[in-house]
Amino acid sequence: MAHTTEPTPVVRALYHDDDVLISAVKEIRAAGYKISEVYTPFPVHGLDKAMGLKETRIAMAAFMYGLLGLTVAVTLTWYMMISDWPQNIGGKPNINWGMNMPAFVPILFELTVFFAAHLMVWTYLVINGLYPGADAQNPDPRTTDDYFMVELPAADGLVDVLKKSGAVEIAEA
C-alpha cells in the first residue's frame, strides 16, 4: 500500500477534474506505465474501465448468502414447528413442513434478505480493509474533497507524461 514504509518510491499526481483524470489515466497507461492506485472523492464513472479493473463478484457473493439465509430459515421453521415440538396451533396442519409452509413464507423471505444484505456488507468491508478506527487510506486529504490522485511507482520519463496529462501537482515519495 502507498502509505506503508516500503522503500519503493512512488509518484503521486493530483488532478482537479474528473474528465481530465479519465483521459490522463488513459494516456498514462498508453505510455506503458502501470497505475498502482487512483484516489477519487466520488465514484468516477468509467474510471475502472480506463484503469482496466476487473468486474467485482460481490453480487454473486450476495446471491450465495441469500441462499444460505433461505436454508437457515427452512431449517429453523422445520425444526421448531415440525420436528422438535409439533403442537396443534389453531388446527393448522403440521404433519409435515410442506403443509405448514404457507405460514412460514414471510420468515423465509425476511431471513433470505437478512443474510444476503448483512453478509455482503461484511464482505465489502473486509475486502476493502475498512473497519472502525482504521487509518485513512488516502495519502492526501484533498482527495476526499475535490482532488483526484493517481499513484504509481516511480519511473523515468513518468513526470513529463503526467505533466502532459494535465496533473496540477506531482509529488514523489
Which of residues 70, 74, 103, 155 is near another protein by CB under 8 A? 103
User: Is residue 69 a contact partner of residue 114, using CB atoms and an 8 Å limit?
Assistant: yes
| Interaction of residue 71 with another protein, rule CB under 8 A | no
The stretch among 6-14, 26-34, 83-91, 158-166 that binds another protein (CB under 8 A) is 83-91
Taking the C-alpha atoms of residue 58 and residue 2, their distance in angstroms, rounded to an integer, is 25
- Minimum Å gap between C-beta 17 and another protein is 9
46 sits near another protein (criterion: CB under 8 A): yes
Cell of 142: 484533498
Question: CB of 134 within 8 A of CB of 1?
Answer: no
Residue span binding another protein (CB under 8 A) among the ranges 5-13, 26-34, 101-109, 158-166 = 101-109
Q: Rule CB under 8 A: is residue 47 a binding residue for another protein?
A: yes
CA gap 22, 47 in Å, rounded: 6
Q: Is 51 in the site for another protein (CB under 8 A)?
A: yes
Q: The C-alpha cell of 82 is what?
A: 415440525
Pick left, alpha or beta for residue 83 (phi over 0 → left; psi -120 to 50 → alpha; otherwise beta). alpha
C-alpha cell at position 13: 499526481
**Minimum gap (Å) between residue 5 Cβ and another protein:** 17
CB 12 within 8 A of CB 150: yes
Q: Which of 20, 31, 44, 155 binds another protein (CB under 8 A)?
A: 44
| Binding residues among 129-158 for another protein as defined by CB under 8 A | 129-138, 141-146
- The answer to the question of residue 67 lying near another protein (CB under 8 A) is no
Pairing of strands 10-15, 169-172: antiparallel
Binding-site size for another protein (CB under 8 A) equals: 71
Under rule CB under 8 A, residue 75 binds another protein: no
Contact status: 59 vs another protein (CB under 8 A): yes
The rounded distance, in Å, linking the Cα atoms of 110 and 129 is: 28
Which lies closer to another protein via its Cβ, residue 89 or residue 160?
A: 89
